[in-house]
Chains A and B, each alone.
Chain A
Amino acid sequence: MAKSRSFFPILPALTLLLLLGPVLAGLVGTILPGFGHLPAAGLYGPSLDPFRDLFDWPGFWPAVRLSVGTGVAAAAISLTIVATILAGWAGTRAFGWVERLLSPLLAVPHAAAAFGLAFLIAPSGWLFRLVSPGLTGWQRPPDLLILQDPMGLSLIAGMVIKEVPFLLLMSIAAMGQVGGARRLAVAQSMGYGRVAAWMFTVFPVVYGRIRLPVLVVLAWSMSVVDVAVILGPSTPSTLSVQIVRWMSDPDLVFRLRAAAGALVQLGLVLGAVAVWWGLERLLGRLGASLAHRGLRLGADAHIRAGGLLLALLTALLLFLGLLGLFVWSFAGFWSFPDLLPDQFTLRSWHRDSVGSWQAVSETAVIAGAAVAVGLFLTLGCLEAEERHGLRLTQRGMWLLYLPLLIPQTAFLPGLQTLMLSLGLETGRGAVVVAHLVFVLPYIRLSLQDPWMQWDRRQAVVAKALGASPDRVLWRVRLPMLLAPILTAVAVGIAVSVGQYLPTLLIGGGRVETLTTEAVALASGGDRRAIGVFGLLQTAAALLPFALALIVPALVWRNRKGLRDG
């Protein structure tokens, strides 16, 4: 105890530093050039020129409208789908299927999902091929603006199929804690329709617990880069995409404009969060008044059917998209309107094998290091809080979520500039630290509830048997929590595998992971190569989840009490 007493308390402080240090440093590195201060280039602020320059860019207002519109729409649609499916089906067998279908899809990296969707819905894509020329008579794809449409509808769709699994799993975790089934039963017994019963009695509590994840989804949707590059419009593109383009322009003036854009992006996200918060209250009040009027809404079959259909459609689009990537990676010549390639070949896999193995190992090393540190810190913090009787407050949760709420484009470029001017080495080590900023919150979020729900009387008994706190931790608590810990590891790995901007910017271009390779290839648009790397990327994220299921089942195959949960 004496030894650990000196060791554990520094972990929360260290974690906070690693979590927020890079974010705050990056923001400073953005704010200075945003106001025209870049001494290294002989520019001294403060000045508003970068903002003037930004506002003069003809695409500014359209880009802003696009970022806000697509972001808010994607978040709202995703939440609506999740709420509808939960309201209509939570606890039923159909819901079990949906859950099983969507959970593994959470790990599919955004870029891979977006590629898959692009090939499905393009005018020359799979869906049109399915009905051509048979039903449509089309020998050639129609000239329809589906991908890159100016309103960003396909971009919204691409974000929604990734957000629905995320929000659904977050809600399921939250429902486990609030005992939704009993509330539902009580309300239904008073004659409320299933959907109304759930919306009135369960949703308000569940929403309270998934508010932060919903805001993360909102912030992410408004500032995502890789998905917007693939599916979003380009005349103009979203503000984030434009910021990244400006960042990579050799002309320094564009860097200042990018920094100003990043600050606008940050402001937009913060503004949207505030407005969302206000709407939340408004809708909450509306819901409460509806509940007060005692509306039973018994006839809700169509709502339930709609919810199920949308959830299944989400899963279907993701699955078909991945299947499309798979087929492309083995495709010989393949043109419209053929449903399948003329011939199959291993050529693409051979051609990309050298580069891909290097990328696989780099991805594994970085994810492994980031997750190992992240897991150590998270467990250390949880244990420290346990031993010192601390609880993560609501404010603490906000801090934890901060790196996920602040757009990556608002602080990563600034962080890169700052690191360079301090003479800090970019490269693999720095990338691990940058990944940690995003890996840590997800590991914590994933471990938090299982850790808290663990029966503390086990510790009382073990200590009464003479076991020291360390022995309780290593011999009792950690082994019992093996399954959730491995799940947290898998979540952490999936998050690390999917990181694009931190790897690119903080790695100084020297660090090549599956994701940077995939996005670089995406810039070329070679579907076969995208297929190979998209699948490798997906496998890298999914494999740990499979292991997280299999390993505890094997290790505890003779331990019924852990197998059945």
Chain B
Amino acid sequence: MDDHTAGLVLDHVEIRQAGQVLVQLNHRVKPGEVLTLMGPSGIGKSTLLSAITGALAPVFELSGRILLNGRDITELPPHQRHTGILFQDPLLFPHMSVGANLAFGLAPGGSRQNRQARVEEVLAEVGLEGYASRDPDTLSGGQRARVALMRMLLSDPQALLLDEPFSGLDASLRTKVRNLVFERAKACDLPVLMVTHDAEDAKAAGGEVITLGV
């Protein structure tokens, strides 16, 4: 992989609904960079993220190519794309413990003990030592957001997609979680694509901002 193809490339991507163009984008997000998409509701920001994760509803038509570190993922099934995503809700699986949620994200392989140890280690990294057996619904909002982030990172994503990720958090938590996410993304050298309403988020991201629909 050379520098030219590294990161998330949206190559003349265009999403149409019933013949009407909804989103058009031609852009490359380099590893470690953040691209922020802003714009009014219903403009198709989240639809674009769906197209990248492979969850695009059949009513939409997609043209162009999506490349991740030189790999064309446009036609790949979602689970082979390695595109991590965080929503406004942490969406921890409510039937699994915190540890099981993390282990679900952890790529397969390795002994049970090793995996358990890795889970504990990750929890410790975000200040949640000993939380592995906890019910996710008993965690605070900030704790849940941290578990969701770490679960996603454990799955070895090659890009990070953020769908209004911080709007569910109150002001004090928001900054903390936001910083943690960007810090981790940078540390892993991931290209980040963020959709948000919030200018604060865009400013904190520090990267390029594209405003759709204007």
Contact = CB atoms under 8 A, between A and B. Distances in A.
Nearest to A481: B95
A469 B79 contact: yes
B104 A475 contact: yes
Contacts of B84: 464-465
Contact of B93 (A1, A463, A464, A480): A480
B53 A464 contact: yes
Contact of A460 (B78, B138, B151, B154): B78
A367 to B, nearest CB: 27
A92 interface: no
A458 interface: yes
A468 B79 CA distance: 5
B95 A464 contact: no
A389 B58 contact: yes
* Best-buried of B50, B77, B156 by chain A (most CB within 10 Å): B77
Contacts of A459: 55
Contacts of A460: 50, 53, 55, 78, 85
B135 A457 contact: no
Contacts of B157: 464
Contacts of A468: 77, 79
Nearest to B80: A466
A560 B93 CA distance: 11
A561 interface: yes
Contacts of A210: none
Contact of B83 (A464, A482, A558, A562): A464
A1 B105 contact: no
Given A560-B135, A561-B137, A480 B94 contact: yes
Contacts of A556: 95
B152 A464 contact: yes
B55 to A, nearest CB: 5
A181 interface: no
Interface in A1-58: 1
A173 B136 CA distance: 28
Interface in B144-163: 151-152, 154-157, 161
Interface string A540-561: 0000000000000000101111
A355 interface: no
B89 interface: yes
Contact of A465 (B54, B94, B138, B155): B155
A12 B80 CA distance: 27
Contacts of B55: 456, 459-460, 463
Contacts of A310: none
Interface in A463-477: 463-469, 471-472, 475-476
Contacts of B80: 466
A455 interface: yes
A561 B136 contact: yes
Given A560-B138, A562-B95, A463 B53 contact: yes
A539 to B, nearest CB: 30
Interface string B74-101: 0001111111110101010111010000
A565 to B, nearest CB: 11
A479 B95 contact: yes
Given A480-B94, A561-B136, A465 B87 contact: no
16 contacts: A462-B104, A463-B77, A463-B78, A464-B81, A464-B83, A464-B152, A465-B154, A468-B77, A476-B93, A479-B95, A556-B95, A559-B95, A560-B94, A560-B137, A560-B138, A562-B95
Given A464-B155, A562-B94, 12 more contacts: A456-B55, A460-B50, A460-B78, A461-B85, A463-B53, A464-B152, A465-B79, A465-B84, A466-B155, A469-B79, A471-B79, A479-B95
The 5 lowest CB-CB distance pairs between A and B, nearest first, are A561-B94, A560-B137, A463-B78, A561-B137, A389-B58
